Structure 1
Amino acid sequence: MPAYHSAYNGSDARSIGGMYLLPLKTKYRGPAPVAADPEASDIIDEVIDLFRANCLFRNFEVRGDGDRLLIYGILYLSDCLTRIASKQPAPSKQEAQKLLQTHALGNFAIPGDATFSLNAVYSSPSSKADADVLRQYLQQFRQEFSDRLVERLYADGQLSKWWMSFQKRKFMGKTL
C-alpha cells in the first residue's frame, strides 16, 4: 500500500526551502496567504487527516514541495502528541492548548539549520530574508495547527485514546 501524498503538489504557490507557502485558514498574523474559500480544507486539514495513515510508513517518496510541507506537518503532529502524552495525568483541553501554543512559539529549526533533522530532503533558503519568511510561515502554521489539533484530540470533551495510540509512531523514523 503506498503512502498518501499531498494534493498541493504542483501548486503555483511560492516555494522557500523546498516547501510551499500555501494559503491557511488562520486567525494568526504571518506571511501565509489567506485561503480563498474559508470552508474548503487547507494543508493543515490535510496533514491531520492523513497523519494516521502516513505515520505507519518508514519510507516516503517526495513528489513535490507540497509533500515536504506534509512531512513537516506530520512530524510536528507527532511531536505534539508526544508532548501531550508526557503530561501525567492527561491534560485538560485548556492545558493542552496552552502547552501546544507554547511549543509552537518556541525556538525551532528550519531547513538549512544545522539542527534540522531532514536537511537531506529540504533545500536551504536562498537568502536571509527567505529564511525569515519561512520561519514566520512555519510559526504561523504551527500556531494554527496546534489549535486545530487540540480541537480534534478533544472532540468529545476528553483526550482521544485513539489519537494518542499513534504518539509512539515515528514517521520515516524521524522527529523534529
Structure 2
Amino acid sequence: MPAYNSTFFSEEAESGRIVGNFAILPIRTKFRGPSYPTNSDYDIIDEVLDLFRPNSFFRNFEIKSNSDRTLIYGILYVSSCLNKLNKRITRGEAVRILNNFALEDFSVPGDPNFPLNAVFNGPQNRNDYDLLRGYIQQFRQELGDRLITILYKNDAPQPDKFWLAFSKRRFMNKSL
C-alpha cells in the first residue's frame, strides 16, 4: 500500500508559486507571511495534520507533485514538534515551546545542513530564498498553532497521548 499523497497539485498549478521544487500553497492563517490567504475550509496545513499519522508508518514516499514536498516538510515538522513536547506539559508551556521552535533559526532547502537536499531543490536567487524562508516560517507557525488545538482538545490538561505516541515514528527515516 503506498503512502498518501497531497491533493493540492491543482492549486499548485493555479498559483504557479514554486521555489526550487517546494510549492508555495495558500494557507488559512493569522500569521504574517508571503502565503496567499485562502477562503477554503481545507488547506495544506489541515492535510498535513490529517495525513501525519497514516503516513508516519511509511519509510518510502513516491513524490508525484511539488505539493508533496510541502506535505513531506509538514509531516517532518509535526514529528519534530511532538518530540519537543512531553506527557506532563501544560497547554501554555506547549504554546511557548512550539512558538519558539517555529521562530528559531532553521535551514531551508538548498542549505548545506538541510536533511532532505536529495529530495528538494534550493532557490535560484536571493529573492526566492527570502520568499521560501518567509513561507516556511509562516507554515511552521500556523502548523504549530493548529497542532496545539488538536493536542489539547476540549481544554485537556495534558496533550493527547495518542498523538504523542507518534513522536517515536520516523517518516522516511528522516527528521528536521
CA distance in 2, matches of 1:155, 1:18: 35
Partner of 1:26 in structure 2? 29
Aligned to 1:111: 109
| Match of residue 144 from structure 1 | 142
Q: 1:81-100: per-residue Cα shift (whole Å, max 9, x none)?
A: 00003xxx621011101100
Q: Determine which structure has the larger helix proportion and give its number.
A: 2
Q: In the TM superposition, what is the alpha-carbon distance from 1:17 to its structure 2 partner?
A: 2.1
- TM-score relative to the length of structure 2: 0.94
Aligned to 2:65: 64
Residues 82-133 of structure 1, C-alpha deviation per residue, up to 9 Å, x if partnerless? Answer: 0003xxx621011101100000000000000000000010111010110011
Offset, 1:36: 2.7
Match of 2:173 in 1: 173
Distance 2:110 2:25 in 1: 20
Hey, what's the Cα distance between the residues in 1 that align with 2:49 and 2:39?
20
Q: Secondary structure at the match of 1:35?
A: coil
Q: Give 1:77's aligned residue.
A: 78
Q: Counterpart amino acid of 2:63?
A: V
Task: Name the % identity.
Answer: 49
Q: Distance in 1 between matches of 2:123 and 2:9?
A: 19
**Residue in 2 that maps onto 1:51:** 52
Q: Deviations over 1:24-66 (max 9, x none)?
A: 11111110001133xx110000000000000110000000111
Aligned partners of 1:64, 1:5: CA distance in 2, in Å? 9
For residue 162 of structure 1, what is the amino acid of its counterpart?
F
Task: State the alpha-carbon separation in 2 of the partners of residues 96 and 167 from structure 1.
Answer: 15
Whole-angstrom distance in 2 between the partners of 1:25 and 1:45: 10
Greater mean deviation of Cα atoms: 56-65 or 8-17: 8-17
Partners of 2:77 and 2:5 in 1: CA distance: 17
Extract unaligned runs of 5+ from structure 2: none
Letter in 1 for 2:22: M
Matched, 1:2 2:2: yes
**Would you say how many aligned residue pairs link Structure 1 and Structure 2?**
171
